[in-house]
Structure 1
Amino acid sequence: MSDTFKKIDKEFCITDDSVNVYGYRCLTAGFQIDEVKKNPIGFHMHNRDKGVVVRWDDFRIDGDKVFAKPVVNLSHPEGQSIADQIEGGFLNAASVGKIVVLEASDAKNLRLPGQTKPTVTKWFSREISLVDIPGNYNALANLYDKDNNELNLSDLKNFTINNMSNTLEAAVILAALNLKDGDESAVVTAINNLVDKADKADEYKKDLDAKDTELKDLKSETVKKEVQDLIAGGKAGKKLTNELATKLEKDYAENPSGLKDLIDTMPAQVLITEQEKDAEKYEGKTFDDLYASEELETVRKQYPDLYEKLRDAKYPNLKQD
């Protein structure tokens, strides 16, 4: 930092495409930045009488916004105070002043909502001041032609217009709307439809979220029923006890395919109480009776306790290893 100036690493928005307080706007696409860089000076609150207090550096364009960083003139009587106000966050705005209009258009397709005056399509400013409130009335009122003659807002309607640019921009809009040239009412209708759709965007999103929730709930219910059906089938097929069924229903609550694979590999189980009931038909029969009726092997496999009991009665001295 020099003793006579101080560059502050803080970007200010110099201009953008928005409509100003007078109802017109200056397009960033037509901002002659090289012309401004020839002498990028500025004042405080557009007060030229007090001398230059800032010059601008590091110009940058991002979309429709133009940014730059201030270099404060510390030799100015208010220079140090202004630098302190910027760094302290009390002076945060910049405003273009003495705007030189090179071309302007009254084309309707260039107007934004709330815009009542023509659009400045090619321009530059002779100074950019530090201000307390952006869009300062004193700044925006100063419009000049290239010969430094002051312009009134009404003059813009008859000012030099870049017809080729307007034609190209209109063609782009018509192509985007899939319309033919010459049907102004169709253009207005199409734009109004787009605005209507934009206004309903929140409503569409709300409906979409509701449908998404409904779909998730339906999917959850479907999975839940599928799991319950598999559990019921496993119990009916004598593969699951009540205790095991409860555990598997919880463990596989969101994985019916895994549950199906598991149940398919499980053999049917004969409960002890059922075994005892089925074994009653062999009551009173001896080991020899079952051997003679060729049922002994069935008893051995299905009712091992009964088989051992009958075998021990037949061969009391036989010891098993």
Structure 2
Amino acid sequence: MSDKFKKIDKEFCVTDNSVNVYKYRCLSEGLQLDEVKRNPIGYFLHGTEEFPREMGVLVRWEDFRVDGDKVYAKPCINLSHPRGQRTVDEIEGGFLNAASVGKITVLDASSDKSLMLSGQERPTVTKWFPREISLVDIPGNYNALSNLYDAENNELSLVDFEKITFLNMSNNTLDAAKILTALNLKAGDEGEVVTAINNLVDKANKSDEYKTDLDTKTKELKDLKDETVKKQVEDLIDKGKTDKKLTNEVAAILSKSYATNPEDLKALIDTMPAQVSVTNGIKDGDPELKKFEGKSWDDLYASEELETVRKKFPELYTKLKDEKYPNLKD
């Protein structure tokens, strides 16, 4: 069995109380070491594209030792792993000297300012354990830190703990006042902070739904506006025809040209005079029209005046044509 693994008599510091690159820290005194010892495995760089975790466990940690805030352990390398012998050579040659906790399970955390060190911006993890401890070339870098998880192995963010610990208003009165103001609450409403935060989260989660609803309402408003404009244009055209200002031909042209502009259409129709009917023209004694009184289509055709009537008095021309050719009526 000894040819399948090799224990190296060299201690690695697997964790301490320092601030990591993510600006939070895990307290060594909160490390649940018994949980770690139940399955003290690890990989290379927490698993890489070349050596993924599916290739198997690379290292088993033994001889855990706590010294102050530092926790040490010794690696036992799996020589059956594709990177096994290479890892042994790098450790014994002094090229691989660091370890990093990974897949951290957070059991408790705090934003208590008294627990924060210089450079720390995020909460302090006060109770935790890693599910694996990997060998790494650079400890604490972005490749050597994995995501955080809760006790049920669900991925989480320290923001969850930040929201909870912010509710401890006695720790920082100024922060409490700012939070209440931001949430549109007042002193005495502390119990409503969680509800207000949850409402904000719900609104954020529903942003896509709100956008879809807004788009729908916007379209409905546009359709209503278009329908209103269309009705205004139709009413103006109908009134223009009723007032004898528009013939059917002119009405059709104006309907198309001013389909979206009822204001200018109204201004134009208001300037147009009403057309004088044949009957009223004769009754009012229009001398030029009166000379055609009593004449038929044939009379005008014979006197070569039919073209004059068509140009100057289209209503009379249409009346005589309908009388002459009743079957040609539109």
Q: Normalization by structure 1: what TM-score? A: 0.49
Q: Normalization by structure 2: what TM-score? A: 0.48
